[in-house]
Amino acid sequence: MQELMKYKRYLILVGVLVLIKFVWVPLWETKQENWQQQQKTRSNLNKTKALLALKDEMHERQQIMSYRLQEAESHFAQTDNVTSYKLTAQSKLESLFKRHDIELSNSSWRDGLKNDDIQTLLLDIRFEGQVKQYLHLLQELQQNDEFTNVSPESNQMSIRKQTAQKLGSVNGRVSLKLAVKLVSQGAS
């Protein structure tokens, strides 16, 4: 025991060094690590909060965009079968021409571009009739919601007997582009 007391100072010093090495240093490092982690977390939190500040605006824009997209999609006819759509569309257009006393001499289909689920179809129509009737037909084509997906691709007209008082008669060919959205069988 007396031997130990002789080295008391050194033992205390060793004890303090052990305390520093195995208790203080790890505690200090843990503390520093925690502070760094906290600072990093706070920085991320600030960024996240800045993002959250846009929440309402983002929601509003999503609503607007959703509405506009819906509106844009409404201009496309939807079908799961292009052939049956062609028959239906042709039948409607023929009855429209007939309604306006425009005589059809020929009509034929061409396939346009396909972009994902959007398919464009081209319908070439040869017709003959009064210019005035043809303009009425075009007006109805523009205003009738059944033909929202129809737009002109090309139009050739030979006008005869036009005077200042009369629009005359027309003999021409029009290519109409029909935009169709293809839907799968399951989705339809």
**Which 48-87 positions form the footprint of other proteins (CB under 8 A)?**
48-49, 51-52, 54-55, 58-59, 61-62, 64-66, 68-69, 71-73, 75-76
> Which part of the chain contacts other proteins (CB under 8 A), choosing from 29-37, 85-93, 100-108, 121-129?
29-37
184 close to 133: Cβ distance less than 8 angstroms: no
Q: How far is the CB of 38 from other proteins (least distance, A)?
A: 4
- Binding status of residue 120 toward other proteins by CB under 8 A: yes
Q: How far is the CB of 126 from other proteins (least distance, A)?
A: 14
Element (H, E) at 118: strand 118-130
Structure tokens, 136 = 């009425």
Chain positions 90 to 109 lying near other proteins, rule: CB under 8 A, are none
Q: How many CB atoms lie within 10 A of CB 107?
A: 16
Closest CB to other proteins among 62 and 95? 62
Helix (H) or strand (E) holding 180: strand 169-182
132 to 171: interface string for other proteins, x by CB under 8 A: x--xx-xx-xxx---xxxxxxxxxxxxxx-xxx--x----
- The candidate with the shortest Cα–Cα distance to 99, out of 91, 108, 109, is 91
- Smallest separation, CB 166 to other proteins (Å): 9
CB 171 → other proteins: shortest distance, Å?
10
The total of other beta-carbon atoms located within 10 Å of residue 180's CB is 21
In 3-state terms the chain splits into helix, strand, coil percentages (rounded to 5) of 55, 30, 15
Closest distance between other proteins and the C-beta of residue 47, in Å?
Answer: 9
